[in-house]
Structure 1
Amino acid sequence: MDSFKIYSQSDIDSLINTRNGEEKLGQHIQIYSHCEEDSTQTISLACLQQSTAQYVLLGIPEDIGVRANLGNAGAKTAWKSALKAFLNTQSNSFLKGDEVLVLGHFEIEEPADISIQGLRNKTNEIDALVYPVIQKIAQVGKIPIVIGGGHNNAAPIISGVSIALNKPLNVVNIDAHADLRDTKEGRHSGNGFSYAMQHGHLNQYRVFGLQENYVHQSLPAYIAASKNIAVIYFEDLLTSKKAIEETWEDFVKDLPEPSGLEIDLDSIENVLSSAITSSGFALNDIRKILLSNHKKYSYLHICEGATELADGRKDLTTGKTIAYLVSDFIKALRPHISQKL
């Protein structure tokens, strides 16, 4: 049965590599502690509220939505690698670790029916599993940081935060794809934002780095006809004289709150994913965007990465890439002790 696994201290300790003279984030992070008599694997708003952590880290290790979109399986492999890399990051004055509560991960069973329709039906079930957990996190004023998993999970994340705040979100997505496919196709990783719009949980939607080679014929007209959708094409960034981070700042500065931030790892060149690309953002481009951020996003979702794909391709650095992005996102809203260069 699909469920959510809440992590214990032993779950965290098993992933930390200790070394004399060093302290790791994993030695300081918070875990969910039951504050009520009920010790079952359920999440209480009151217990969440008691944590002083501002950020709640959790994983959705599944690739069912990707496969439902005819993509390569493997996105389910990123979570554990990313968590281990994050927990083994040095704890210091730049990032201590106690700012973060590591909640756990969703455990999602393989469906008996693995046809395309069966996978799309299962993706619907994943939506129903994910959004209530996200809703609880946002309801107590904390910021979910979600590691996927496929981009299908954008829909339940947006829904969970929107329901908690009782208003639609405005979302910016760093992605080579728009993921605005027709909802009539059934749920998959290519139409999460279409579903969020259809359900009234997504207001403004912006895509940064959309690649012309991945745009189907009718999409530009659809975007042009919508007052709530805006894109910047990757090809325009390549030919612009402005730095990417400057263009980014102009693109999001008027994005109203509450807002969410999506990072699809297939937008970063040579990061292992279902749609791995040789032409995309450099990792340091995205790190600059995150480290210079001054907006208070209501959630961060990093998705589509993999350490191993079903076809046998492997890259163990994906976890460290995700750990960089998570730590940069958190550090941007903290005072820096170093002088500006």
Structure 2
Amino acid sequence: MENLTLFSSFELGKITSHRSGEVKFGEKMLTAPKGVNITNFLTECKAKFVLLGIPEDIGIRANFGRVGAASAWDSAIKCIANIQHNRFCKGSQLLILGCLNVSEDLKKAENLDFQKIEDRKLLSQLVEKIDKEVAHILFTIVKAGKIPIIIGGGHNNAYGNIKGTALAKGRPINAVNLDAHSDFRILEGRHSGNGFSYAFDEGFLKKYFIFGLHESYTSKNVLLRLKDLEDRVRFNTYDEIAIRKVKNFEQELNQALTFVKNDSFGIEIDLDSLPNIASSAMTLSGYSVEQARQFVNHFGQHANAAYLHICEGAPGLSDDKNPQLIGKLIGYLITDFIKAKANYAAL
């Protein structure tokens, strides 16, 4: 894990706003000491959850999307550090491992043009390199008996999350994805739109449920493929739940959970499914922040929930003067997940 940049206690102290009479997450979260053997430390660490950042948008570039997701990690970690540590959620449950160092890869990607075939190949190769690193880190975290919480980055990192978790578990896993898009596009070289299809094709993904697909932004070819694979890949659409109301949100949560719950499964949250959230594919119509939080809580309570991945948020693309709101949103989703797992343990 030579490309993993550990997050230090000194860095954590710098971003934590101390106030008399209050205890913040940043005062209680754990960090890995410099020079420590990471594998051993993860195994012995008392924290149940491990926070990993993947500050890249190369997969988004390779998918012809708007860049900016590389900044979500910095925004999120500052907000997470200043969450209140109290009886509802404790910062000591969380280890900030650090982030993947992709600075050199980002520099290479800056000068590549998606419209050029050769450049597109180079972008895909950079994504493949990140895939290997993400899968290795996820494998190490899960093998140590911990639950990863990953902040992206593009949705291309779902592939590494799934592969690493499956290898650690010794069998394919399932995934449920709150997303406006299927990210199940053809195997045309790695990018943010085909992480799940690659994981499925290579045998790491067993069952896949897409929650809240936007009908107007899903191609006919994808829909035909999903129909052919309906024993293992299912979906509902935002339109049939929220617009036509022929399906019920809560009932669909239960249907999706029933589909994935018999094996370990990852929880994937693409922030472009939420309206007015700065992201690579921003939308004006979609599920509310409250519904996204309910989604995380619902699936997080199950024993087989193996990881949480929040991706595609892009604070730099925000038009308002409060880019930290993306980080605050990510903080809400993370604490919802931690609380959900705690509630499961208390049952």
Q: Are 1:132 and 2:136 an aligned pair?
A: yes
Q: Report how far residue 31 of structure 1 moved.
A: 1.2
Q: In 2, distance between residues paired with 1:125 and 1:313?
A: 35
| 8 Å contact from structure 1 (residues 111, 122) kept in 2 | no
Q: Which residue of 2 aligns with 1:339?
A: none
Q: Secondary structure at the match of 1:98?
A: helix
Q: Deviations over 1:291-334 (max 9, x none)?
A: 34421311111000011039999733111011100000111122
Q: In 2, distance between residues paired with 1:179 and 1:46?
A: 35
Q: Are 1:247 and 2:264 an aligned pair?
A: no
| 8 Å contact from structure 1 (residues 82, 322) kept in 2 | yes
Aligned AA for 1:129?
A: E
Q: Are 1:106 and 2:100 an aligned pair?
A: yes
Q: Are 1:233 and 2:237 an aligned pair?
A: yes
Q: How does 1:106-185 map to 2 (within 5 A)?
A: 106-108=100-102, 109=104, 110-112=106-108, 114=112, 115-183=119-187, 185=188
Q: Which residue of 1 aligns with 2:194?
A: 191
Structure 1 gap segments, 5+ residues each: 337-341
Q: How does 1:33-112 map to 2 (within 5 A)?
A: 33=33, 39=35, 44-108=38-102, 109=104, 110-112=106-108
Structure 1's 311 and 73: CA in aligned 2 closer, same or farther, altered over 3 A?
farther
Q: Report how far residue 287 of structure 1 moved.
A: 1.2
Structure 1's 298 and 99: CA in aligned 2 closer, same or farther, altered over 3 A?
same
CA-atom RMSD in angstroms:
2.1
With structure 1 as the length reference, what TM-score do the two structures score? Answer: 0.91
Q: Which residue of 1 aligns with 2:302?
A: 295
Q: Are 1:206 and 2:209 an aligned pair?
A: yes
Name which of 306, 325, 331 aligns with 2:333: 325
With structure 2 as the length reference, what TM-score do the two structures score? Answer: 0.90
| Number of residue-to-residue matches in the alignment | 329
Q: Secondary structure at the match of 2:316?
A: coil
Name which of 215, 224, 228 aligns with 2:227: 224
Q: In 2, distance between residues paired with 1:261 and 1:180?
A: 16
Structure number with higher helix proportion: 2
Name which of 289, 293, 314 aligns with 1:306: 314
Identity of aligned residues (%): 39
| 8 Å contact from structure 2 (residues 176, 256) kept in 1 | no
Structure 1's 147 and 320: CA in aligned 2 closer, same or farther, altered over 3 A?
same
The worse-fitting range, judged by mean Cα deviation, of 309-318 and 95-104 is 309-318
Structure 2 gap segments, 5+ residues each: 113-118
| 8 Å contact from structure 2 (residues 174, 266) kept in 1 | yes
